[in-house]
Structure 1
């Protein structure tokens, strides 16, 4: 299998790297300065977005982008190295309109939205005029199984009434956030299959009854655009805000999470590359016990293991991206689970090693390592915990074993007694 990047992808990567060097790296210090004040650097981001759009570095992630909308229409395989580059600065995906949760929401609106919904929400998202939120996870149930969610979406005449509590609603405190896609239960009948009880509705954030309870940290790191807990208290929206059809919420969630998980993994590989580069730079410069840190065999082992783990994760991710491009999202379900598990663990491990090499400095905000470690740890929950993805891979292996009984005996027969 050939994972050589296409000429189009390489050209875009060169263009993106040049943009990063000219605009993103110089802006990083200002971004972090504003972030540390607890504010969102909206003016900075909006200025960079205008430059990215003018440079043709816009909506890089959506292969089936409508022809009349701005974007590059890259395949998942071609997008992979670009996502890696953006991943080196966790905040900069928004500059190129390639940031979650907007990318996943755009996928949903593109695939299942009505023309009215597209005009009101999809096209402004594609243009970078607004931001969006996705509200599925709940604090009171094991949301790794989406059939457990308790938020209710009740039809009353020409309206839906939503009541429930969500958390990990990312970007809810972003100053441009205008709506959230809420997943809830529309049919609680025991006769209805559990995977047909959920639906999704679009809820403008300024609707009466929507309340952001808190914007919390993850491992004491505050995300600038918010990781929020949101309450929906008898929130009323028009029935026309239903996304897709009633009972299709679970299927829509799967359609949304597949590409989103792949994008997370691509960015995580870029984060790990940054951690490895910082680690190598540290060991060739730092002296301890009369020797450069690079001369100690244990540090060399950390570097070698990190390089191999990054490359393994990248190859697995590219294989998954290729399958999605050629066979569709459904065919790559197990592959997505595999890379989601492998890449999150890899990022956490590489960042941890780099932190160890940096000593006390690795625990401080003086380097991005503490955040990279935090994000690797968070990835082991977001878009499904490790356990769910491991189970998906195991099920596939066991399915093959059950379909091929006697496999062991076929190979053991020569060694068994007559």
Structure 2
């Protein structure tokens, strides 16, 4: 990071402007080749598929990568590919792994996860309306998605689509399925890119995608009909904690920049850091980052020790705490930087957008608060009844 990525941060931003729609700069490919040659590759994926690191091992590495928005891809550790590789490694058939997981792990292709829909509140996954209908040896997909992150990348070849195969199933959590859709399948139409706070997030984007009678072989279904909700829960747990890890890196870098700015900048006759309110902002930020880091590490450790499902309470807590913390810390750093803080001259504006967006992405705060509260009532409320 210090030798190859941070010194190239401005160069990457300039190269991205001239790379062309959907294309990553050649600089990124060069850095990826270097990282892979050094063995710094697929660090997120436990077991024989990845580098063999635990979640607790990976957490500080993800934090370091999170200091630069595009750095995770250099190490083949960027969303949504990380979650999609986890899906394929856990639930894919041998044929699906050979076709999709191996090139994803080699960094030869990119992928996207197509779940959120504009017409329904997708925070409740049972609302999903996209239709996946069996037709002989194929499934036919019809629906409209948006914020399908990464689908505009020229290297994106795979869409993992969530939709309903059994809309009348009495168990609403057994109505959904996931299916693998090659992006060049007839009927897949990218309508437009969706900006987040004005950022279009090139080269991958967050496009709106229409599936118009998209026909794929039946063997493209993941795990079986009605297993989509189960797969989604398995995918989003690690993905949520990975975002938290990266956001701690964003917040830590923002704090360091805030301290540097407060030391060098003079207002009203003295450095900003000698003003009490600025010192308080710095101190509060330090405390909040350390608390969030410990919570995230505790969640990672429990995932390693007891499994993702057993750690869902701490994963939810981290997902509630960390993005909000990062947004506050970055906002304070922006305030200390003044006009420069909202400009392209620092990473702060883009980092703030990321932190604020993740309060919605992978489930909004309210969903995690409700789920965690319900879980704690179930765990501890029985004593009161007894």
Match of 1:267 in 2: 246
Q: In the alignment, is residue 25 of structure 1 matched against residue 24 of structure 2? A: no
Of 24, 45, 49, which aligns to 1:41?
Answer: 24
Give, in whole Å, the separation in 2 of the partners of 1:130 and 1:335: 33
Match of 1:11 in 2: none
Number of residue pairs matched? 383
Indicate if the aligned counterparts of 2:340 and 2:346 stay in contact, CA closer than 8 A.
Answer: yes
Could you list the runs of 5+ residues in structure 2 that have no partner in the other structure?
none
Q: In the alignment, is residue 237 of structure 1 matched against residue 216 of structure 2? A: yes
Give, in whole Å, the separation in 1 of the partners of 2:360 and 2:41: 29
Tell me the TM-score normalized by structure 1. 0.90
Match of 1:7 in 2: none
Q: In the alignment, is residue 139 of structure 1 matched against residue 122 of structure 2? A: no
Match of 2:186 in 1: 208
- C-alpha RMSD of the superposition: 1.2
Of 377, 382, 386, which aligns to 1:403?
Answer: 382
Indicate if the aligned counterparts of 2:12 and 2:25 stay in contact, CA closer than 8 A.
Answer: no
Deviates more, 1:332-341 or 1:273-282: 332-341
Give, in whole Å, the separation in 1 of the partners of 2:349 and 2:31: 26
Indicate if the aligned counterparts of 1:31 and 1:41 stay in contact, CA closer than 8 A.
Answer: no
Q: In the alignment, is residue 91 of structure 1 matched against residue 70 of structure 2? A: yes
Of 292, 317, 332, which aligns to 2:271?
Answer: 292
| SS of residue in 1 equivalent to 2:384 | coil
Of 60, 68, 76, which aligns to 1:81?
Answer: 60
Give, in whole Å, the separation in 1 of the partners of 2:351 and 2:19: 20
Match of 1:165 in 2: 144
Q: Deviations over 1:7-51 (max 9, x none)?
A: xxxxxxxxxxxxx12211222122111334574433221111110
Give, in whole Å, the separation in 1 of the partners of 2:26 and 2:222: 32
| SS of residue in 2 equivalent to 1:168 | coil
Indicate if the aligned counterparts of 1:179 and 1:202 stay in contact, CA closer than 8 A.
Answer: yes
Give the alignment of 1:385-404 within 5 angstroms. 385-404=364-383
Give runs of ≥4 in structure 1 deviating > 6 Å: none
| SS of residue in 1 equivalent to 2:4 | helix
Tell me the TM-score normalized by structure 2. 0.97
Indicate if the aligned counterparts of 2:255 and 2:329 stay in contact, CA closer than 8 A.
Answer: yes
Indicate if the aligned counterparts of 2:146 and 2:194 stay in contact, CA closer than 8 A.
Answer: no
| SS of residue in 1 equivalent to 2:189 | strand
Of 202, 206, 222, which aligns to 2:200?
Answer: 222
Give, in whole Å, the separation in 2 of the partners of 1:277 and 1:35: 26
Greater Cα radius of gyration, structure 1 or 2: 1
Could you list the runs of 5+ residues in structure 1 that have no partner in the other structure?
1-19, 408-418
| SS of residue in 2 equivalent to 1:170 | coil
| SS of residue in 2 equivalent to 1:405 | helix
| SS of residue in 2 equivalent to 1:404 | helix
Give, in whole Å, the separation in 2 of the partners of 1:311 and 1:72: 27
Of 161, 164, 182, which aligns to 1:182?
Answer: 161
Give, in whole Å, the separation in 2 of the partners of 1:266 and 1:335: 13
Give, in whole Å, the separation in 1 of the partners of 2:193 and 2:73: 19
